[in-house]
Amino acid sequence: MCIRDSLDTVNIWGPDSKVIFRHYATLYFIFVSDTSESELAVLDLIQIFVETLDKNFESVCELDLIFHSDKIHYILDEIIMGGLVVETSINEIMSSIQAQNAIANEGKATMENVRERLNNMNLTENVVNSVKNLYSRDNKPPE
Segment 84-122, tens digit of pLDDT: 888 889 999 998 888 888 888 887 777 777 677 766 666
Higher-confidence position of 46 and 140: 46
State the Cα torsion 94-96-98-99 to the nearest 10°: 170
Question: In angstroms, how far is CA 100 from the centroid of its own chain?
Answer: 11
Contact 104, 78 (CB under 8 A): no
Strands (E), the chain: 2-3, 17-24, 27-34, 80-81, 84-85
Q: What is the pTM of this model?
A: 0.67
